[in-house]
């Protein structure tokens, strides 16, 4: 049995979001903080995705914290190893490593209404925390395909995000299931060493050229020495990515140039008519994430690679049988089938005061939060990379830093006002999400394809349907009037109502209310 430890703020996860939260909160003076990380290192998705060819589709200068630019990136799009090294060095230099407990898996996060604190169970100690910040990531729980017989396969089976580096691929017959962002990087990287490669495609993706190159030593020196140069390049990259938002969310006509580039890229790289037909996308560009590769189509044309488009019927001990009755032998099965995003198993571990899990709430009401960060009924819980914060076109780190502004401002507001809890009003959250749903219903993401942006009801609760600077604006300051709040037991200040027109009445846990009557003003 572990001990119970008391801490003011508990952060779950030490990837880009959790680590960023820890750095920011400590900077703001909230240093009674612990980060719990199930892995043995920081880095999150960039620690876990070690598959051959793993790299980022967002330009290197843009894909970094704004407070820790890296003039040393080796190329325009960074490979996984370099991003992993970057995040490790930021963790080291920011001095937060001693706040992180590695190898600790959070098993339950439950709000205690009487004490107005969170109880966080782990496979080691229990934590008693006032504030919980979830930095568990959106693309972290591998989604394994539910295919008949997959458990009976006699060779190795692994997901791209859990790559088994002990498995030797040289000369083997390898099957890769999926043609998303992960698959299109893996396949060209392993095709040259395997004996034979079958690529199972359910939906042909849109692919644009990858304009990548190495940075010369002179360029890197310039970024180091010329003040503002890297920020200027970053700003240009940011602006050019933001232009895509017009096409993705407002006007399909604005997607025409990239659609034409995609078609031309395909036509130039695939000469074989049948292959060309098979890889021609049948949905609107941008509906799924747009992929970047110069090597995908040429790899599919290799003699030792087959693109299989007949649906998978079942997996047998030695291969895959497709709906056309063909038996495709395989020694190794790589599943590149994505992640649980709108149905992450972590949501089953988070419970409100009545014991209702976030998973249950979101399965019933739809996955929603207020400003992607707070959820009504879950006081003092801040979800990073939460609902409606995902992006396909630009850097998630920008969205994370927006959320960190909001988190820091919330913590500061609570400190200044002597608040114990803040809990977003249900009506405010509802209205916010209704507006978001109206926005997303016009976007390209709901134009008829399947993707991780969508939930089971066909809404797109995972993506931000506007310019990212609009989100930055919304999250700049904590808007206390959107929240019900209770006073801290030792509060000197009295909580005052700054939104007298709001018809809702604060619901204060009975015990706390009795104890604190006189400190909390009903609204």
The DSSP code for 148 is: T
- Taking a C-beta distance cutoff of 8 angstroms, is the pair 84, 223 a contact? no
By CB under 6 A, is residue 211 in contact with ligand NAP?
Answer: no
Binding mask 190-209 for ligand NAP (x = CB under 6 A): ----------x-xx------
Q: Is 139 in the site for ligand NAP (CB under 6 A)?
A: yes
Report if residue 321 touches ligand NAP, rule: CB under 6 A: no
Q: Is 238 in the site for ligand NAP (CB under 6 A)?
A: no
Return the C-alpha torsion angle 448, 243, 140, 146, nearest 10: 20
Does 336 bind ligand NAP (CB under 6 A)? Our answer is yes
Under the binding rule (CB under 6 A), the answer on residue 182 touching ligand NAP is yes
Q: In this chain, which of 206, 398, 452, 464 binds ligand NAP, going by CB under 6 A?
A: 452
DSSP per residue, 99-122: GEEET--EEEEEEETTTTEEEEEE
User: Which of 7, 56 has the CB closer to ligand NAP?
Assistant: 56
3-state secondary structure 412-450: HHHHHHCEEEEEECHHHHHHHHHHHHHHHCCCHHHCCCC
Smallest gap from residue 44 Cβ to ligand NAP (A): 12
Pick the piece of the chain touching ligand NAP (CB under 6 A) from 244-252, 296-304, 336-344, 376-384.
336-344
289 binds ligand NAP (CB under 6 A): yes
Helix/strand/coil for 321 = strand
Of the candidates 336, 49, 296, 344, which has an alpha carbon nearest to the alpha carbon of residue 180?
336
Q: Label residue 338 left, alpha or beta by phi (over 0 means left) and psi (-120 to 50 means alpha).
A: left
**The one segment of 65-73, 277-285, 333-341, 364-372 that binds ligand NAP by CB under 6 A:** 333-341
Q: What are the φ and ψ backbone dihedral angles of 186, each rounded to 5 degrees?
A: -65, -50
CB of 293 or CB of 486, closer to ligand NAP: 293
Q: Does the protein bind ligand NAP through residue 159 (CB under 6 A)? A: no
CB of residue 80 to ligand NAP, shortest distance in Å: 9
177 binds ligand NAP (CB under 6 A): yes
CB of 362 to ligand NAP, least distance (A): 19
56 binds ligand NAP (CB under 6 A): yes
Say whether residue 124 binds ligand NAP (CB under 6 A). Answer: no
What are the tokens at 330? Answer: 């395989």
**Could you say whether residue 57 binds ligand NAP (CB under 6 A)?**
yes
Check residue 456 for interaction with ligand NAP (CB under 6 A). no
Catalogue the long-range contacts made by 383-387 (C-beta closer than 8 Å, 24 or more residues apart).
Answer: 383/134, 384/17, 384/18, 384/20, 384/21, 384/133, 384/134, 384/135, 385/17, 385/135, 385/137, 385/138, 386/134, 387/362, 387/461, 387/462
Stretch that binds ligand NAP, among 139-147, 366-374, 432-440, 488-496 (CB under 6 A): 139-147
From 12, 14, 183, 334, residue interacting with ligand NAP (rule: CB under 6 A)? 183
Q: Does 17 bind ligand NAP (CB under 6 A)?
A: no
What is the nearest approach in angstroms of ligand NAP to the Cβ of residue 391? 8
Minimum CB distance to ligand NAP smaller for 203 or for 304: 203
Q: 221, exposed or middle or buried, with CB in 10 Å at 0-12, 13-18, 19+? A: exposed
Measuring CA to CA, which residue among 33, 41, 40 is closest to residue 5? Answer: 33
Closest residue to ligand NAP: CB criterion = 180
d(CA 255, CA 284): 9
Longest dimension (CA), the chain: 79
Instruction: Write out the DSSP string of 480-522.
Output: GGGEEEEE-TT-SSPP--S-TT--------HHHHHHHBTTB--
Per rule CB under 6 A, is residue 244 in the interface with ligand NAP? Answer: no
Binding part of the chain for ligand NAP, among 257-265, 332-340, 359-367, 417-425 by CB under 6 A, reads 332-340
Looking at the Cβ atoms of 187 and 495, the one nearer to ligand NAP is: 187
DSSP code of residue 125: -
180: contact with ligand NAP by CB under 6 A: yes
Residue with tokens 């401002």: 409
Helix (H) or strand (E) segment spanning residue 171:
none
d(CA 389, CA 461) in angstroms, rounded, equals 9
Residue 450 lies near ligand NAP (rule: CB under 6 A):
yes
CB of 79 to ligand NAP, least distance (A): 10
Q: What is the closest distance, in whole angstroms, from the C-beta atom of residue 490 to ligand NAP in the complex? A: 44
Least spacing, CB of residue 138 vs ligand NAP, in Å: 8
Q: Determine which helix (DSSP H) or strand (DSSP E) holds 361, and give its type and residue range.
A: helix 358-365
- Name the segment binding ligand NAP (CB under 6 A); options: 107-115, 172-180, 249-257, 318-326: 172-180
User: Does the protein bind ligand NAP through residue 512 (CB under 6 A)?
Assistant: no
179 binds ligand NAP (CB under 6 A): yes
The yes or no reply on residue 286 touching ligand NAP (CB under 6 A) is no
Q: How far is CA 96 from CA 3, 130, 268, 401, 504, in A?
A: 23, 20, 50, 17, 40
> What part of residues 379-398 is at the interface with ligand NAP (CB under 6 A)?
none
- Phi/psi of residue 139, nearest 5 degrees: -110, 60
* Beta carbon nearer to ligand NAP, 200 or 296: 200
Among 312, 367, 399, 454, binds ligand NAP (CB under 6 A): 312
The DSSP code for 348 is G
List interacting residues with ligand NAP (CB under 6 A): 55-57, 139, 145, 147, 160, 177-183, 185, 200, 202-203, 289, 312, 336-339, 450, 452
């Amino acid at each position: 049995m572990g001990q119970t430890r008391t801490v003011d703020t508990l952060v779950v996860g030490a990837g880009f979001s959790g680590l960023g939260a820890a750095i920011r909160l400590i900077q703001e003076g909230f240093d009674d903080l612990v980060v719990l990380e199930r892995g043995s290192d920081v880095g999150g998705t960039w620690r876990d995705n070690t598959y051959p060819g793993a790299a980022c589709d967002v330009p290197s200068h843009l894909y970094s914290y704004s407070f820790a630019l890296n003039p040393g990136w080796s190329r325009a799009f960074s490979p996984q190893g370099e991003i992993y090294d970057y995040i490790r060095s930021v963790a080291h230099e920011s001095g937060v490593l001693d706040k992180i407990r590695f190898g600790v898996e959070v098993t339950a996060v439950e709000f205690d209404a009487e004490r107005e604190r969170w109880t966080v169970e782990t496979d080691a100690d229990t934590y008693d925390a006032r504030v919980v910040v979830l930095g568990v990531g959106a693309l972290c729980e591998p989604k394994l395909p539910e295919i008949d017989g997959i458990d009976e396969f006699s060779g190795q089976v692994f997901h791209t995000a859990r790559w088994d580096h002990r498995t030797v691929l040289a000369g083997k017959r390898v099957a890769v299931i999926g043609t998303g962002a992960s698959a299109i990087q893996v396949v060209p990287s392993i095709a040259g060493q395997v004996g034979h490669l079958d690529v199972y495609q359910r939906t042909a993706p849109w692919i644009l050229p990858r304009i990548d190159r190495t940075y010369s030593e002179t360029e890197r020196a310039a970024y180091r020495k010329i003040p503002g140069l890297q920020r200027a390049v970053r700003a240009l990259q940011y602006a050019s990515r933001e232009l895509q938002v017009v096409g993705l969310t407002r006007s399909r006509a604005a997607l025409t140039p990239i659609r034409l580039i995609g078609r031309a890229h395909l036509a130039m790289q695939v000469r074989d008519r049948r292959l060309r037909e098979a890889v021609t996308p049948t949905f609107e560009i941008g509906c799924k994430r747009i992929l970047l590769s110069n090597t995908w189509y040429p790899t599919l044309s290799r003699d030792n690679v087959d693109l299989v488009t007949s649906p998978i019927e079942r997996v047998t001990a030695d291969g895959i049988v497709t709906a056309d009755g063909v038996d495709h032998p395989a020694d190794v099965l790589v599943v590149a089938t994505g992640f649980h995003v709108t149905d992450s198993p972590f949501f089953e571990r988070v419970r409100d005061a009545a014991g209702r899990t976030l998973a249950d709430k979101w399965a019933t009401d739809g996955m929603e939060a207020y400003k992607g960060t707070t959820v009504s009924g879950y006081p003092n819980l801040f979800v990073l990379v939460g609902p409606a914060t995902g992006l396909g076109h630009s850097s998630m780190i920008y969205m994370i830093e927006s959320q960190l502004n909001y988190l820091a401002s919330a913590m500061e507001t609570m400190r200044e006002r002597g608040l114990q809890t803040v809990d977003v009003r249900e009506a405010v959250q509802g209205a916010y999400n209704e507006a978001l749903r109206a926005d997303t219903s016009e976007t390209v993401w709901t134009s008829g394809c399947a993707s991780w942006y969508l939930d089971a009801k066909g809404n797109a609760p995972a993506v931000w349907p506007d310019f990212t600077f609009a989100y930055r604006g919304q999250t700049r300051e904590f808007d206390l009037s959107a929240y019900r709040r209770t006073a801290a037991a030792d509060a000197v200040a009295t909580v005052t109502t700054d939104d007298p027109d709001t018809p809702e009445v604060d619901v204060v846990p009975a015990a706390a209310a009795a104890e604190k009557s006189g400190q909390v003003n009903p609204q």
